[in-house]
Amino acid sequence: MELKVISQPLEEVKSEFLVITVFEDEINNIDYIQSLEKKINGKIAKLIETGEVKGKYREFTILHPEGIEATRILIMGLGKRKDFSLDRIRSITANSARYARRIDIKEMAIHDFSNCNVDPTESAECIVEGILLGMYRFDKYKSKKKHSHKKLKTIQIVTANPDIAEQLEAGGKKGVVLSNSANFVRDLVNEPGSMMTPTRFSELAQEVATDNGVDIKILERSDMQKEGMGAFLAVSQGSDEPPKMVIMEYKGNPGGKTIGIVGKGVTFDSGGYDIKPAAGMLRMYADMGGAAATLGTMKAVSELKLPINLVAVMSLTENMVNGNAFKPSDILTSMSGKTIEVLNTDAEGRLVLCDSLTYIQKYYKTDALVDIATLTGAAIIALGRTVSATLTNSDELYDHLYKAGEYSGERVWRLPLYEEYRAQLVSDVADIENVGGRSAGTITAAIFLKDFVDEDQDWIHIDIAGTAMMEEEIARYVKNPYIPKEGGTGTGTRLMFHFVESFCN
Ligand code: BES
Ligand code: ZN
Ligand code: ZN
């Protein structure tokens, strides 16, 4: 995909497909296309007059104009000005690109959204994200690829103001890296469990590290045994696939702030002996969405050479059943020394994460520690499928993450971490139980993790169980054109990228 920023009046743009936008409640205010309008005899104004173009959100109208260089104009409705957001740019450009692809167009030109009072860097980033995220497909295993010849090859962002071309260029480049990283995460998540094993994941992490000059270390089962990771290892015990802990370190600002990210990478979660019912097990190849988002963040941060330091830990294992598997009521000794009573082998994510949190805090000093995981079905019950749950001991971290969520469209909402929830995790025989009962499931999972975080460590937990995967049935009401209707959403990478960028600023 080639991205060009061109400073040219719209009427001079050579393109098969020129996209412009109009607001519903400012439908007569189309000053920015006035010179274009002149050349096409006020055709757009006429369509507005007759009510054919109303500017309703996602309304689209196609013109085949004469008198200008472009062969088609797509007029996209932006809806009401007060409802405008950067995310609407993504949605609009995703729709436009998909439309262009459907009619086999290879190149698309789009105006710079100067009618929207947005920062040019941000608008270009969102234009590109909408297009690249919106065109994603996972068709690797289809012998007949749907319209594989149909590919948009070039995007031109058109501005009438040469002074902002540089900003558009920078934002566009960032958009390319961020969307490619998110699409990479989608690919990782979409691979079935037998393909995306801990070993395969760690090979891909190795590739990312090599490509971007990032330090990498991969712990094998024997290394984890030496560290005493009794909780993590218990989860791996029932699987023939060896577990891996991948640690990547990017140093973009020696002496500056360091962020740590820990991602849950359960490459298949059968539930273990507390086995999941068939319907619940169906998509559990996606239970490594946290680790995938962590790798995606590392990829984006290192490609864009952010002036920050980032340590990423990806904890990879299957949760399976065999004669060796851990059992309900087992008592585990974690790396921290705390003992854990296993009430349910399906609450494996927190067992993997607790040792990973202990590990990262033992070997790295971080100014902020993030963990991201498809941790609890209860997060879906609490917040649905478009907002991730977050819990933290730091208002400051929440502030940064919340803003990153609003900006990226990968929104988060905070749940409380009150100490009183700890009562649900009290064990008769061990220091803590791994399950706190049905009520407040997302909170008790976070309370469990908090037990493994040092008092003075600023930490934020992100539960993406509801947001990492899309399903056809849910897509019917979520209706986000840049998120696939089925499969991995790539969530977490753009969110965490903007979080680390803002935290280290
Ligand atoms: N991987 C699941 C959580 C999950 C559920 C992710 C649905 C995505 C969609 C996790 O390991 C799990 O099974 N959690 C249990 C915990 C329970 C046993 C306390 C759950 O949420 O039911
Ligand atoms: Zn589970
Ligand atoms: Zn799980």
Q: Following DSSP, what letter does each residue of 293-360 receive, concatenated?
A: HHHHHHHHHHHTT-SSEEEEEEEEEEE--STTS--TT-EEE-TTS-EEE-S-TT--HHHHHHHHHHHH
The atom of ligand 1 lying closest to the CA of 375 is 3
How many Å apart are CA 432 and CA 344, to the nearest integer? 13
How many Å apart are CA 416 and CA 398, to the nearest integer? 12
The yes-or-no answer on residue 422 being catalytic is no
Distance 348 CA to ligand 3 centre (A): 6
Under 8 Å between Cβ of 69 and 18:
no
Q: Is the CB of 378 inside a 6 Å radius of any atom of ligand 1? A: yes
Of all helices (H) and strands (E), which one includes residue 371? strand 368-373
How many Å apart are CA 406 and CA 409, to the nearest integer? 5
Q: What pLDDT, in 10s, does the model give residues 456-480?
A: 999 999 999 999 999 998 998 999 9
Q: Is the CB of 424 inside a 6 Å radius of any atom of ligand 1? A: no
Distance 247 CA to ligand 1 centre (A): 25
242-254: buried (b, 16+ CB within 10 Å) or exposed (e) per residue? Answer: bbbbbbbbbbbee
Q: Is the CB of 346 inside a 6 Å radius of any atom of ligand 1? A: yes
Which pTM value belongs to this model? 0.98
Strands 258-269 and 309-319: parallel
Torsion angles phi and psi, residue 403, rounded to 5: -65, -40
User: What is the rounded average pLDDT for all residues in the chain?
Assistant: 97
pLDDT at 313 over 90: yes
Q: Give me the helix-helix angle, 493-503 and 289-303, nearest 10°.
A: 50
pLDDT at 146 over 80: no
pLDDT at 82: 97
Question: What count of Cα atoms within 13 Å lies in the side-chain half-sphere of residue 456?
Answer: 1
pLDDT at 144 over 90: no
The yes-or-no answer on residue 276 being catalytic is yes
Average pLDDT over residues 102-116: 94
Q: Write down the catalytic residue from 72, 186, 350, 411.
A: 350
pLDDT at 148: 67
Distance 272 CA to ligand 3 centre (A): 10
Strand order of the β-sheet with 432-433 is 331-333, 339-341, 432-433
- Of the chain, the end-to-end C-alpha distance in Å amounts to 30
